[in-house]
Amino acid sequence: MKIDAYIGLGSNLGDKRANCLKALKMIDQLKDTEVRTVSPFYKTEPVGVEDQQDWYLNGVAQLATTSPPLRLMKELLAIEKELGRERKKRWDSRTIDLDILFYGNMVINEEALKVPHPRLHLRRFVLVPLAELGPDLVHPVFKKTVRELLEECPAEGQEVVRLEEE
C-alpha cells in the first residue's frame, strides 16, 4: 500500500531551481517512490543562521511510496550527496536539502529520523508551500491542520515570496 509522504526541498547554492528540479527527478526515479505533485517554489529568508547566506529556494513535494521511512531517508541523503551537498555544520548553505516532513500520519522518533519534522511548525518556508498541497493535513502530534500551524507561525525574520512559474 502506498503512503503519502511530504518532502521539503531547499537550495541556496548554485542554480537553486535546477538543483530542486534535479532532486525531484531523482526522487521520482527511486524504485518504490513517485512524485505526485509539487508546490510552487518560494524565495525564502534563511532561518536560524548566524552567518550571511543567500536566500533559499524552497518547495514541497507530495510522494506516493511503499519505501519504509528510514530507507526513504537514506535514499534522500544519497540524492543530496550526489547533488553535491557537503555537511560541514548545521544550517550551512547547501546545494540541496531534502527533509521528510510527514510520512502518512506516522510519528517516528529515532536518532536517524524524526517525523513529523521536529521544526516544521516553526518554519514558514515549509508551511507555506506545504499549505499549497495539503492545507487540511493534520499534524499527528499537535492535532492541528497545516493551515492552523501556518496561522500561528511567526512571520518576523521568515519572509516567503512566491516565485512566478518559469
Classify the C-alpha dihedral 48-54-60-63 as positive or negative: negative
Selected catalytic residue, list 4, 94, 147, 162 = 94
Q: Is 97 a catalytic residue?
A: yes
Selected catalytic residue, list 28, 99, 124, 162 = 99
Q: Is 124 a catalytic residue?
A: no
Return the closest-CA partner of residue 130 out of 107, 101, 153, 164. 101
Q: Is 94 a catalytic residue?
A: yes
- Helix (H) / strand (E) element for 23: namely helix 16-28
Q: Is 123 a catalytic residue?
A: no
| 89 alpha-carbon distance from chain centroid | 19
Selected catalytic residue, list 71, 85, 87, 92 = 85
Selected catalytic residue, list 17, 32, 51, 97 = 97
β-sheet bridge partners, residue 43: 57, 161
Residue with cell 521539503: 8
The residues annotated as belonging to the active site are 85, 94, 97, 99
